[in-house]
Structure 1
Amino acid sequence: MPSAAERLVRDRQLVFDLCLCALVTLVTTGYSLAVGERALGLASLVITLPLLVRRAFPAAAFVMMTAGCLFALAVSEMPSAAGIVSVPIMIYTLARWSPRTLARLGWAVGVVGSFLGPARWAFAGRGLTDVTVFMVSVVACLAVVSGTYVVGRKLRESEDSAGRQQRSEAERRRLLESEQEQRDRAATVDERNRIARELHDIVAHSLSVIVVQAEGGRALAARHPERAGEVLGTIAETGREALTETRRILGVLRDGRGEASTAYGPQPGLADIADLVRRTSDRAELATFGTPPPLSPAVGLTAYRVVQESLTNVLKHAGPEARARVVVACTPDAVEIEVADDGGGETAPVSDGQGHGLRGMAERVNLHEGELSAGPGPNGGFVVRAWIPYERAAETQPDLPRVAAW
């Protein structure tokens, strides 16, 4: 259904064509009747009436006008004023709004008429003067017919070009919007994966520690009841920390701005690894090398999560009597981490397919263009190694050797 603007334009065009048809018909038909050419007056009427429907039915109007011009040539030797005025208007109409084939056909018929008309008018007396009149008339008619065709086609091409440019611009905007939507969706997926990794690391580690401490505490309570309070304290401390970190992450989900992280404390980092190892198990020990430089929160959190996930895997897979050694070295280029156990686990911890476990650690390290490897140790057990680069000021960093085991 056409819009209000389109209907307004169409109504204006109809009014214009009606006025144009009435004016040309009155002038040309009236002139023919005034000079006593009734047949030419009737032909003029047939020639000018198609101007009324030249936009809506261009092919029919063209055929009717052509028939009227041929009729005028047949019944009168006088030039047809209606044809001289109406034919260029029709050729312009065909060139401007009709398909290319119909427009070229109209121009070709106009060229033929540019010879037939002057021949009919000029050679009635068959004199030299008539030849001159013929040549001048032919040139004038050809100029008018070709000029109106060229103007019409140029305007049509200009409109087509503008339309193509608008469609191209609209398509470009659509593609940009689509790309932005894809980037937004990718960012959303990345954020969900990050939050999933955070929740997995927190919940899996904390529950593993709580389960191990609870089982050990049950046996300890039977032999040394006075030490049961220590185990319960460790369980409570681990649970509180897990609850705090979970609240922080869920707070980010609620407000989307990370304000909850400031309300519930900073994210864990490199300095918190010692406390993490202490709380995880009394069978885990920590060795550190070098002085850590100022690290970005993201690098510190990644190092912390690598140790946390590795210790969780030790608790889950290495066996009840396995011992673990955590080595953290700060070199001039990166933080280097090694977590090795002497347990009886023969296979690597299995990923659940959702980006957690070893896969989640690898994703974290890869975000910083680091390297992570995991596999059975040379003397049994399982070993996880991570190399996490960081930006540093070369003049302030000590020249520290890499860990010998690496």
Structure 2
Amino acid sequence: MTAQAPRPQTTAAKGDTSALTAHVQRLLQRLRAFDHRHPLVWDLLLTAFYVTASLIDYSSGGWHTVARNRDASETLVLLICLGFSLPLLWRRTHPVAALLAMAPAALANAWDGIIAQAALLQFIVVFNIALHRSPMTLLRAFAVIAVPTVIGAVRYPEDSWDQQILPTLWGFVMVVLLAVAVRTRKEYLASLVERARQLEVERDQQARLAAAAERTRIAREMHDIIGHNLSVITGLADGGSYAAKKNPERAGQALTAIAGTSREALTELRRLLGVLRDDTPNADLTPQPGLTDLNSLVDGVRSAGLPVRMTVRGTPAHDSDTAGRELTVYRVVQEALTNTLKHAGPGATATVDVSHSDTGVTVTVTDDGRGAPTVTPGGRAEAPGGRGITGMRERTALYNGTLEAGPLPQPTGGWRVRMHLPEEPAP
């Protein structure tokens, strides 16, 4: 029978490895953060470490084991070791200058046949040059290292050239490849960070655009709800004050209509504000008005004193009249009749024609008013900051429709608003 006991141990081992890796990554992040805040501390520690190692190699006489000239001056060996190790302090801030500062020590080291191990410290500077400088600078750095190597090979040709030059060449190539890999990873991480920053900026911009669009939508709804109902109330109040002198009963009817219209406006306003304030997904939302509510809308306008004749022709080709399209039709008719109440003057009449066809729905609202104010290029003049016609155009544009608003030709006069919403493809 096959035993399956080692599986939990393997999982536990993976968990221990992941924990160790996470711990090492956190430690490296702390070291990088400390180095970023205090770069001089790390440079001093690294330089002190290699100066100490070079002095140990000098004092212990270890350089004799590889030197081709064991009779070289001890003082010269000391100066060469310090010449290779001390410039490491500037390896990150001025790597090219540090390598040039090592060049005299490299020439003396090759010419006198000392071959101090401290010469390998040049590769640390080469790593920083490959990490931060251009390829042309890297080629110059290779020349600075190659020239002393060739001089030493010519002056002390005991060993073959491949044993003297190839190790330096391969060491240079390996250090450069390592630096390129580190540089590529840094640039990739930097690009990810920049991309994340751009996404945050785009997210904030989208949020601001969405907030602006929502404010516009709310302003449009508030304008349609409050503007229309206040216009109806104003018409009822004017008619009631006129009728109070001759027919108190009609004045009472006007007051009753004013109360009903006010309650309807308050209900719609509370519903709108409730939607804005309620963040719960189960909020009780009353349906928005649609085509079936046009009759009650027209009745309310009639009660305000404006005679309105409404005609509905045809039926939708299919169920493409969604709630949003029906709301657009309703609001355009509402705004057009509200403008008639405000601007058409006494004795005006209005006509509402809703026509369904294969090409879409067309709504035409006309009046024969004579009291319209001066016409502006955007349509019937509105109060400063008015958004009536602008709101109708915005609603129509949401469904790729067209809206025309302007005066009728003389001598008939009056005003016409015509909206067409094209038929949407059947699902």
Class of the TM-score when normalised by the shorter of the 2 chains: 0.7 to 0.9
| TM-score under structure 2 length normalisation | 0.77
Partner amino acid for 1:315?
Answer: L
- Give the deviation of 1:175 after TM superposition: 1.4
Aligned partner (choices 314, 325, 336) of residue 299 of structure 1: 325
> In 2 relative to 1, CA 68–315 (structure 1 residues): closer, same or farther, beyond 3 Å?
closer
User: Is contact 2:83-2:102 (8 Å) kept?
Assistant: yes
Is residue 312 of structure 2 the alignment partner of residue 288 of structure 1?
yes
Aligned partner (choices 59, 76, 80) of residue 114 of structure 2: 80
Aligned partner (choices 122, 126, 129) of residue 95 of structure 1: 126
Which secondary structure state, in structure 2, belongs to the residue aligned with residue 3 of structure 1?
helix
| TM-score under structure 1 length normalisation | 0.80
Matched residues in 1 for 2:209 and 2:391: separation? 17
User: Is contact 1:47-1:66 (8 Å) kept?
Assistant: no
Matched residues in 1 for 2:425 and 2:254: separation? 41
Map 1:194-205 → 2, pairs under 5 A: 194-205=217-228
User: Is contact 2:362-2:421 (8 Å) kept?
Assistant: yes
Matched residues in 2 for 1:258 and 1:350: separation? 42
Aligned partner (choices 349, 373, 376) of residue 407 of structure 2: 376
Aligned partner (choices 149, 170, 181) of residue 114 of structure 1: 149
Structure 2, unaligned runs of 5 or more: 1-31
Map 1:1-400 → 2, pairs under 5 A: 3-4=33-34, 6=36, 13=46, 17-18=50-51, 20-28=53-61, 31=64, 37=70, 39-58=72-91, 62=99, 65-71=102-108, 79-82=113-116, 85-87=117-119, 89-98=120-129, 99=133, 103-122=138-157, 133=158, 136=160, 138-255=161-278, 262=285, 265-281=286-302, 282=305, 283-291=307-315, 294=319, 295-344=321-370, 345=372, 347=375, 348-351=379-382, 356-378=387-409, 379-391=412-424, 393=426
User: Is contact 2:290-2:329 (8 Å) kept?
Assistant: yes
- Give the deviation of 1:196 after TM superposition: 0.3
What is the CA deviation profile of residues 269-317 of structure 1, one whole-angstrom value per residue up to 9, with x for unaligned ones?
1111111011112511211112456532211111111011000110111
Partner amino acid for 2:362?
Answer: E
Matched residues in 2 for 1:350 and 1:55: separation? 79
Larger CA deviation: 7-16 vs 373-382: 7-16
Matched residues in 2 for 1:290 and 1:35: separation? 108
User: Is contact 2:351-2:366 (8 Å) kept?
Assistant: yes
RMSD over equivalenced CA pairs, Å: 3.3
What is the CA deviation profile of residues 318-368 of structure 1, one whole-angstrom value per residue up to 9, with x for unaligned ones?
111100011112323422211100111263422457571111101001001
Which secondary structure state, in structure 2, belongs to the residue aligned with residue 329 of structure 1?
strand
User: Is contact 2:85-2:121 (8 Å) kept?
Assistant: no
Matched residues in 1 for 2:275 and 2:383: separation? 25
What is the CA deviation profile of residues 68-89 of structure 1, one whole-angstrom value per residue up to 9, with x for unaligned ones?
4544566x5xx3131xx332x1
User: Is contact 2:405-2:417 (8 Å) kept?
Assistant: yes
> In 2 relative to 1, CA 333–69 (structure 1 residues): closer, same or farther, beyond 3 Å?
closer
> In 2 relative to 1, CA 73–365 (structure 1 residues): closer, same or farther, beyond 3 Å?
closer
> In 2 relative to 1, CA 353–191 (structure 1 residues): closer, same or farther, beyond 3 Å?
farther
- Give the deviation of 1:162 after TM superposition: 1.8
Higher CA-based Rg: 1
Question: Aligned pairs, how many?
Answer: 374
> In 2 relative to 1, CA 61–210 (structure 1 residues): closer, same or farther, beyond 3 Å?
closer
User: Is contact 1:209-1:280 (8 Å) kept?
Assistant: yes
- Give the deviation of 1:197 after TM superposition: 0.6
Matched residues in 2 for 1:258 and 1:270: separation? 27
Matched residues in 2 for 1:275 and 1:392: separation? 30
Matched residues in 2 for 1:231 and 1:297: separation? 32
User: Is contact 2:63-2:114 (8 Å) kept?
Assistant: no
